[in-house]
Chains A and B, each alone.
Chain A
């Protein structure tokens, strides 16, 4: 299938794609990666639907949005798997998923499960700011504009002064994105590190639903 464009995934999400009986209800920031894993494994029994990725910036809106989507789709599928980690919901997404009887991805956020949750925890990187492929492509929409850095660059160090480096967790090898990630690090005044993660525990989590 055609890969959905980032702007749509960011602002609108994705209506169900596929004819499978298992619905993967995901963050729009994971759409490309999930479709890639699904396709490479031939998981035709899975359907993907996404919520707008921009919810990443307002985690308090994730739980109500997931609840609404589960309620909307549950009659049409045998099973729903929520492809979100905790994502800043302070444990409330897990509580909601348990209440609704659906499973979700383990871990605190996508930076962790892309790295591998155990690996990420072991690194104990307190002063790193992370970008994934999606967030790198959408850096302006997710970082620059909402933090007002386009209008008030003087705020940069208030936000990022305690960070030391930007870690670009790459899911795909893409020299152009790597250049962009480097520029993002420079823009934020941070050191730069490239870390190829592939799909990490995302693939493991999806395999559990196969």
Chain B
């Protein structure tokens, strides 16, 4: 970072400049600066929900787009996500307190035999940023674990992730058992992970394959809108 940038004092920036600077700081993965920016906006009486959506999600959207376009790579995205996590940790309790709008609820987890969680964690974080309540089951989840969470949490969406060609078929095991149990249509099932593709998603009976966290958020929102429209029509 240049000396000029080092000299920036966040509290001296007006709101617009500060949000723009937070976009830059997120892009550069500067966690402390993001936490400071969030605190300044809170002091300026910004609603936590506005800070989340306008400053943090806005910044992460740029990161996500540049990742998709091959400008940024995994390490930079992880650093940005870590910075956003710092900001979200401050906002989360306030969002609950202030009754921020909740778009829907998602249970998410990496499938049995698979310990990879970077993509899943990014999706979970971006979903939270988009106003979803996210229940993260972690890694290596069996059908039983997924079903237990569906029972107790009653989510709108089930998200499953896999990084290995050898573990991705387990998603079909879960979906088949949902069908068998007669609960498949109660949930939107989204799947993702590096070796997956759209065709696979269709073949196993998922509602959608999501190639990255941004697509996951957009797809989830779309399904929630459809659900609300169906309920309104019904």
Task: Tell me the A residues contacting B by CB distance below 8 Å.
Answer: 59-60, 86, 88-92, 108-109, 124, 126-127, 146-149, 151-152, 155, 158-159, 162-163
Contacts and interface: CB of A to CB of B under 8 A. Distances in A.
Interface of B: 73-76, 78-79, 82, 113-118, 139-140, 164-166, 168, 194-197, 200
Contacts of A146: 73-74
B139 A162 contact: yes
B115 A155 contact: no
Contacts of A90: 165, 168, 194-197, 200
Contacts of B82: 158
A5 to B, nearest CB: 26
B118 A158 contact: yes
A55 to B, nearest CB: 14
A155 B114 contact: no
Contact of B74 (A89, A92, A147, A162): A147
B199 to A, nearest CB: 9
Given A60-B194, A108-B165, 4 more contacts: A88-B164, A146-B73, A148-B76, A155-B78
B140 A126 contact: yes
B33 to A, nearest CB: 16
B206 to A, nearest CB: 14
A151 B115 CA distance: 24
Query: Which residue, of B82, B139, B195, has the highest number of chain A Cβ atoms within 10 A?
Result: B195
B195 A88 contact: yes
Does more than half of chain A's interface fall in helix, strand or loop, or is it mixed? loop
Nearest to B114: A126
Contacts of B78: 148, 155, 158
A91 B165 contact: yes
Nearest to A60: B194
A126 to B, nearest CB: 6
Contacts of B76: 148
B224 to A, nearest CB: 28
Nearest to B140: A126
A126 B74 CA distance: 22
A88 B73 contact: no
A191 to B, nearest CB: 15
Contacts of B114: 126
18 contacts: A59-B194, A59-B195, A90-B194, A90-B200, A91-B195, A92-B197, A108-B164, A108-B165, A126-B113, A126-B114, A148-B76, A149-B75, A152-B79, A155-B79, A158-B118, A159-B118, A162-B115, A162-B139
Given A91-B200, A126-B113, A162-B115, A148 B165 contact: no
Query: Which residue, of A59, A127, A159, A162, has the highest number of chain B Cβ atoms within 10 A?
Result: A162
A148 B73 contact: yes
B212 to A, nearest CB: 12
Nearest to A162: B115
A91 B116 CA distance: 19
A155 B80 CA distance: 12
